[in-house]
């Protein structure tokens, strides 16, 4: 196991659990103006229900007093996040940090595809530590700790609403609305589904023209959300992916763009730091099932693995306890706009050979770990 030294003492008194979802890459990513007209890196992710990381934190079980360990041993970002969360939960309340501990991660987020696997690890770890202390940290606090732990974080701690997030600063630049326009996404994996080392990617360099272009896309996305305009959402996502090719060229981009045009998709989206991608469809199209089946066939014919199909604007059945641990279960919790709803029905995507093109997990390198309980 990888160890992280800390201070001794007692604080947390029970096993804490936490969960964080992943995402399906970005709808929009670039450089934008903040409230002070300062250029700032930002992104809007495409939320997805299903895969995620579950963290379990057992306090007081380090190999020596004040020592933290993690399993799997290479999850060093999550380990740093746990140490930061211990300090956050203990010090301001006059408690001593816990006497070491063990962090165990389990889940099914594919690694290195640009789906936020490290952010999912980090956020789940922070929530698990907080749960061990009997606390629930505000999303803004989790965002601050996540950025300290991994230098840049996806906004997975803030729910699935569309927002422009400064990933290196851990703050929201703009809440774009309540929900993304309705869309059905046929997911796929480019580059043969191989993982991407994000630390090896060149740092993007932007000039005033880039800022103007991204601000225009930001304005269009704001309008797409306000009008529930799926076609405009597809346009913004495609243009963002096209501009990202200057930083990290995807050799299948042109092919994916042509497939989108042939099968009646409104656009495409590609993770800016990985190989996960998707073609976006208007769920109101009268021949949606036919379009989706043609899309699956076209992708497979071109040797692009099809992963899963999902819809925007739907929520899963993740409970408060599942996200934040047992501390935060409220039986009298009032219904809110994010209360779970029934999943949207998607057409069965069987191709001419009877194979399904959705419902299965992503094939490449899985984030599947053991648990100790």
315: buried, middle or exposed (CB in 10 Å: 19+, 13-18, 0-12)? Answer: middle
249: buried, middle or exposed (CB in 10 Å: 19+, 13-18, 0-12)? Answer: exposed
250-224-144 Cα angle (round to 5): 70
Per-residue pLDDT of the chain (373 residues; tens, 9 = 90+): 454 444 334 455 689 999 999 999 999 999 999 999 999 999 999 998 878 999 999 987 544 545 889 999 999 999 999 999 998 998 655 566 666 789 999 988 888 788 889 999 999 999 999 999 899 999 999 999 999 999 999 999 998 789 999 999 999 999 999 999 999 999 999 987 666 655 555 566 677 899 999 999 999 999 999 999 999 999 999 999 999 888 777 889 999 999 999 999 999 999 987 889 999 999 999 899 999 999 999 999 999 999 999 998 654 333 344 445 555 443 333 333 333 333 444 454 444 444 444 444 333 344 444 333 3
Contact 281, 266 (CB under 8 A): yes
3-state secondary structure (DSSP) of residue 23: strand
Strand-pairing partners, residue 277, are 188, 270
Contact 120, 53 (CB under 8 A): yes
Give the chain's radius of gyration (CA, Å).
Answer: 21
Global pTM reads: 0.80
At residue 243, φ and ψ (nearest 5 deg) are -65, -30
Give strand ranges (E) for the chain. Answer: 2-5, 16-33, 39-59, 67-71, 101-107, 163-166, 171-175, 184-189, 267-270, 276-281, 306-311
Tokens of 183: 């869309």
Residue with tokens 């099914």: 108
Can you give the pLDDT at residue 207? 78
């Amino acid at each position: 196991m990888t160890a992280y030294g800390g201070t001794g003492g007692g604080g947390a008194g029970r096993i804490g659990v936490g969960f964080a979802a992943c995402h399906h890459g970005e709808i929009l990513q670039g450089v934008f103006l903040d409230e002070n007209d300062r250029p700032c890196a930002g992104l809007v992710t495409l939320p997805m229900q299903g895969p995620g990381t579950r963290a379990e934190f057992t306090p007081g079980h380090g190999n020596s007093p004040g020592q933290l360990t993690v399993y799997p041993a290479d999850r060093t970002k999550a380990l740093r996040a746990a140490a930061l969360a211990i300090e956050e939960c203990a010090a301001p309340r006059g408690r001593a940090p816990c006497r070491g501990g063990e962090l165990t991660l389990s889940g099914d987020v594919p690694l290195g595809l640009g789906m936020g696997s490290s952010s999912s690890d980090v956020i789940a770890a922070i929530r698990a530590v907080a749960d061990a202390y009997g606390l629930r940290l505000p999303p803004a606090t989790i965002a601050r700790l996540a950025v300290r732990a991994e230098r840049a974080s996806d906004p997975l701690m803030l729910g699935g609403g569309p927002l422009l997030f400064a990933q290196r600063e851990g703050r929201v630049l703009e809440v774009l609305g309540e929900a993304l326009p309705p869309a059905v996404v046929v997911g796929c994996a480019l580059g043969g589904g191989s993982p991407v080392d994000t630390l090896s990617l060149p740092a993007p360099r932007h000039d005033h023209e880039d800022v103007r272009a991204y601000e225009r896309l930001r304005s269009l996305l704001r309008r797409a959300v306000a009008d529930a305009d799926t076609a405009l959402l597809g346009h913004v996502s495609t243009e963002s992916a096209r501009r990202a090719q200057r930083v990290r060229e995807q050799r299948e981009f042109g092919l994916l763009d042509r497939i989108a045009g042939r099968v009646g998709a409104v656009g495409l989206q590609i993770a800016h730091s990985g190989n996960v991608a998707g073609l976006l469809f208007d769920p109101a199209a009268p021949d949606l099932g036919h379009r989706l089946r043609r899309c699956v066939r076209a992708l497979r014919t071109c040797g692009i693995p099809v992963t899963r199909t999902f819809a925007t604007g739907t929520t899963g059945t993740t409970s408060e306890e599942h996200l934040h641990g047992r501390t935060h279960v409220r039986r009298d919790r009032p219904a809110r706009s994010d209360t779970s709803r029934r999943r949207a029905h998607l057409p069965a995507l069987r191709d001419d050979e009877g194979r399904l093109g959705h419902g299965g997990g992503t094939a490449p390198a899985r984030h599947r770990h053991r648990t100790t309980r």
